A and B are shown apart, each in its own frame.
Chain A
């Protein structure tokens, strides 16, 4: 029994870790702007394409940092161009803008890549096969959880211990007051997008090492799942996002193990709906009350 489930469990933990890295971007942005950044999944895809093209021309040691830098620039630009002008607009407008950006990025990637699936390059070390017990898997399966935990811990420390982290926390509690206290909110928001994009870039390297084809719309589903993970863990909470992502990754793969692959996506959303109804604030979220 355990032997048959082991590969699925491993895959679940691994993909969960990858979702976690995407989910961090959602949860940070939502915590500060109250915006579901629908374009985040497409930024994740873009990171995949950056690697496809860069790895063809450069050695991995150069390509990897460059991919992260390009992704960060993309995330930063999206925020400045599409979200910043709507700072005072109703929340619905920003969300529509996010959907518009997602649409634009997908179409742009289709145009630039010709719409065909591209083969993701094999990153040295990550793509090798190894044997764990009875299961054979790629090295990335083991690397992912380690990388995820390290990054999440580093991020939590950043938010708890540093000045910019304190500013981020202040802005997420009260936008306007933080502004009055002299916090440059635009900088804080930019940093949030930079961190989120960098995490998505690292996540994409791990993810596409497993699922090697990159297409313009491939990021949509992992993006939505990562968002669900962020909601599940309690939006705004980084450890919550990680735990939520791991649970989703594992459950999804167990459902595949049960032969219901068709429902592995649907399960995520069913989980989302149950969480929203039973505990809208997620596992670690805080409650807010509207003033009458």
Chain B
């Protein structure tokens, strides 16, 4: 039993290493500006964010829609702390160069991004985690909106630059020229690895127990609030790092980009991948980004085949086709790509049971 587990671990690690090498090669051969590289970068960032959301929605059964808000906090923390001193006067031109007059390294800033998001999550979690189901969803959604409004508030402009753009912080392109994919993969890989370790520990089992039946979990001596708070804070920690990575990917940052539509998008990724499946979220993220950014692009351009104009193709059709596919998954393939199983568990025990329709 244990030996088989070890072998599976070695195979998994080998596959991961292979993916890293492949990502590296793609970037070296296609160049940093190619569509493939864009998809790999953004897909990886979304994978982290989707997995962090899955930890909450899929594994702990807490229907939270606050992800965009915590990503925003992470992104701003990162950007504010890393904009070079020399550029501050230009970026914070309406606020006399801002009040933060120091910078820290990129990696520490990523960490701080997670920690600040986690701190906010701890504060917000105290009241809202007492709510159940859809009330929790709407309250977290509300908090995300409040955070967005607050960041753009003029009075804290010296810190956040109000509703103006943040820029010139180290981005993927400037900080890791030529190795953007490998860098993103490594950061995202470490984070997802940590989440996996947590999920497979006794705490992960407690989270799943809460998801399956709160009352029974409590009767098993599991402190509901304590565990929900833990899942919430950890999820937001990684959402914060994900937000910072997204800021690195985008190159510039503005609070208005982090609307609830972003949270919905991530939720749909999680659902397509399978609630309660880490590998599902990862696969779905890459698929989602590849389709929306690349593979379905042709749907947006008017095309002539000979004299025949292909009907429907026009700007915006891509997203329509895409949302129809999503609706089909939501309605008819409710378990998503992976259900609650993992890629590396395929072929082992639960497959024989035909899976359970849980959600």
Contact = CB atoms under 8 A, between A and B. Distances in A.
Direct A–B contact in complex, judged by CB atoms less than 8 Å apart: yes
Interface of A: 34, 36, 38, 81-82, 85-86, 89-93, 95-97, 99-104, 106-108, 110-112, 114-115, 217, 220, 224, 227-228, 231, 262-263, 265-266, 268-270, 272-273, 276-277, 280, 290, 292
B293 interface: no
Give the size range of B's interface with the partner.
Answer: 35 or more
B257 interface: no
Contacts of B20: none
* Interface-central residue, A96, A101, A263, A268, by most chain B CB under 10 Å: A96
Contacts of A89: 334, 359
A56 B68 CA distance: 39
B153 A263 contact: yes
Contacts of B265: 103
Contacts of B327: 82, 97, 100-101, 104
A172 to B, nearest CB: 16
Nearest to A264: B149
A101 to B, nearest CB: 7
Nearest to A89: B334
B10 interface: no
Contacts of B142: 228, 268-270, 272-273
A107 B322 contact: yes
5 contacts: A82-B331, A90-B359, A104-B323, A104-B326, A276-B138
A91 B133 contact: yes
Given A108-B320, A262-B152, A272-B138, A95 B63 contact: yes
B264 A103 contact: yes
Nearest to B219: A292
Contacts of A217: 261
Contacts of A93: 330, 334, 359
B316 A266 contact: no
B149 A265 contact: yes
Interface string B325-358: 0110011001000000000000000000000000
B39 interface: no
Contacts of A101: 327
Contacts of A110: 316, 319
Contact of A269 (B63, B133, B137, B146): B146
A103 B268 contact: yes
A114 B316 contact: yes
A103 B127 contact: no
Interface in B101-149: 127-128, 130-131, 133-135, 137-139, 141-143, 145-146, 148-149
A99 B320 contact: no
B268 A100 contact: yes
Contact of A103 (B137, B150, B323, B331): B323
B323 A100 contact: yes
B195 interface: no
A215 to B, nearest CB: 13
A36 B324 CA distance: 21
B145 to A, nearest CB: 5
B146 A104 contact: no
Contacts of A263: 149-150, 153
A107 B316 contact: yes
Nearest to B151: A262
Contacts of B141: 224, 269
A111 B316 CA distance: 4
* Smallest CB-CB A-B distances: 10 pairs: A269-B142, A111-B316, A266-B149, A104-B323, A107-B319, A266-B146, A100-B330, A111-B320, A107-B323, A110-B316
Interface in B129-182: 130-131, 133-135, 137-139, 141-143, 145-146, 148-150, 152-154
B316 A115 contact: yes
A276 B145 contact: no
A276 B131 contact: yes
Contact of B359 (A92, A115, A265): A92
B139 A262 contact: no
A107 B268 contact: no
Nearest to B57: A92
Contacts of B322: 107
